[in-house]
Amino acid sequence: MDKKLVYSWLDEHTGEAVSLLKDLLRIPSVNPYFDDEESLKGEGNAQRCLQAFIEQMGFRTELSYPDAQELIDYKDKAGYNGDHTFEDRPNLFGELKGEGGGRSILLSGHMDVVQTGSKWTHDPFSADQVGDTIYGRGSVDMKGGIAAMTMAVKAIRECGIRLKGDVRIGTVVDEEAGGMGTLALVARGYRADGCIITEPTHMNLAPLCRGILWGKIIVEGQAGHIELKRQDWKEGGAVDAIDKAAYILEYFKSFNENWAHTKAHKYLPIPCQIKFAQFEAGEYPTTFANHAELTFDAQYLPQDKDENGLGGKVKKEIEDFVAAIAATDPYLKANPPRIEWILDADCGETFDTEDFFKVTVSCLQDLCPDAIVEGNCAHTDMGWFCNVGIPTINLGPGDSKLCHQSDEHIEIPEYIQCAKVIASIILDWCGVSE
């Protein structure tokens, strides 16, 4: 079987590929946890649009609705958000049966997008095209990837090639607000021998993503006139919460230096760190701050996941470190800082010893010789697929730096290139029936 037939089909049908992508972009599917605007809540419409498209290709399909009550067994696990509701927010699952005797593949992506934000020079939901560039919210993150994986299967079908293994498509809702869509898809029992998430990797291969923790260190001081001589804090004298917070911050330099060695990964360009993003303290100019909050983002590696697939062990490490800092200062020892946890987004990893990794990397580098293997520094939904033993990689078109930005856009040649790479992987992985 000549893969070139499939590649030529995709070149000749660029127009059809572009129109599928534009159809998806023109249906706003903003995650409702970002924007209350009714007219933008279209995850259901976008899923039905793709459903109709893949049914025409011969897929058997099913829409299913995540439900917090049904998923209650997962309440301490990754992706579970008990207060999320799913009216007209279905997951789409589709299956195209192979001839038998081959390995199955799951192609996955999220249909929700983040809010549009400001400063667009193109309508975020018109799918404007200028030259080879298509603009729109979700063009990169990640309707470009969803359309590319769909066109990859279509190209194989239209070339009359019969696959041995099954091809499954699973597109989910709610990725941008926690990942309950993918949790529900996996909880429903959908599996495959390998999975590609077509998140934007700029056509590099990302065999892992990091976990993300958001937290807040809260330091209490004691207010008091800032211009006067201070009494001992034990006798009710003022304590500057800014000063104490700065004291804590200073220790995190050595913490991060340590993590630079212990939390690095050969497929990540930067190690995990704790980065402080917000510092809030004080009330007015003439009093010492009686309260300070340091908000941070800490990343963790898949190897550091706890038994729930989350960052519990890393949280403990940070809590212990803050407690150790507090022990070095008499006031902080008596008034220990607290940590409030805000978010824990899970992670996953597929090792380069896996067959699926080897097949995907070789297909990718055949078509894109400059492609590299580099993990996603940010979160994707791969954690649950890895948790249930499905080798999973991220591979998709578009520059992830454009995600969540105004004037998000994708280049058509890269989009088509992605469809070719995915078609090539499907052919090699699922096998062709002669």
Which residues have C-beta within 8 Å of that of residue 340, sequence separation ≥ 6? Answer: 215, 216, 218
- Quick note: the x/- pattern for Zn ion over 140-159, rule CB under 5 A, is -xx-----------------
Q: Can you tell me the distance from the alpha carbon of 194 to that of 185, in angstroms, rounded to the nearest whole number?
A: 15
Minimum distance of Zn ion from residue 414's CB (angstroms): 16
- Which residue has the CB atom at the shortest distance from Zn ion? 141
Nearer to Zn ion, 193 or 381 (CB): 381
Nearer to Zn ion, 136 or 221 (CB): 136
Minimum distance of Zn ion from residue 197's CB (angstroms): 9
Nearer to Zn ion, 142 or 153 (CB): 142
Nearer to Zn ion, 179 or 221 (CB): 179
User: How many residues lie near Zn ion (CB under 5 A)?
Assistant: 3
Minimum distance of Zn ion from residue 175's CB (angstroms): 6
Q: Report the length, in residues, of the chain.
A: 434
Q: Which residues on neighbouring strands pair with residue 163, listed in sequence order?
A: 432
Q: Which helix (H) or strand (E) holds 417?
A: helix 412-430
Helix/strand/coil for 91: strand
Minimum distance of Zn ion from residue 207's CB (angstroms): 17
Nearer to Zn ion, 199 or 408 (CB): 199
Minimum distance of Zn ion from residue 10's CB (angstroms): 23
* CB-based contact 171:146 (threshold 8 Å): yes
- Quick note: the x/- pattern for Zn ion over 106-145, rule CB under 5 A, is -----------------------------------xx---
* CB-based contact 142:200 (threshold 8 Å): yes
User: Annotated catalytic residue: which of 95, 141, 166, 175?
Assistant: 175
**What strands, in cross-sheet order, belong to the sheet with 60-64?**
60-64, 91-96, 167-172, 105-110, 195-197, 392-394
Question: 89-115 b/e with 16+ CB inside 10 Å = b?
Answer: bbbbbbbbebeeebbbbbbbbbbbbbb
Is 199 catalytic? The answer is no
The CA–CA distances, whole Å, from 414 to 25, 374, 397, 409 equal: 17, 18, 6, 11
Q: Can you tell me the distance from the alpha carbon of 103 to that of 167, in angstroms, rounded to the nearest whole number?
A: 9
* CB-based contact 71:49 (threshold 8 Å): no
Is 366 catalytic? The answer is no
User: Annotated catalytic residue: which of 95, 112, 193, 349?
Assistant: 112
| Site membership for Zn ion, residue 172 (CB under 5 A) | no
| 178-217 binders of Zn ion (CB under 5 A) | 199
Minimum distance of Zn ion from residue 43's CB (angstroms): 14
| 272-331 binders of Zn ion (CB under 5 A) | none
Site of interaction with Zn ion (CB under 5 A): 141-142, 199
Q: What are the catalytic residues?
A: 112, 175
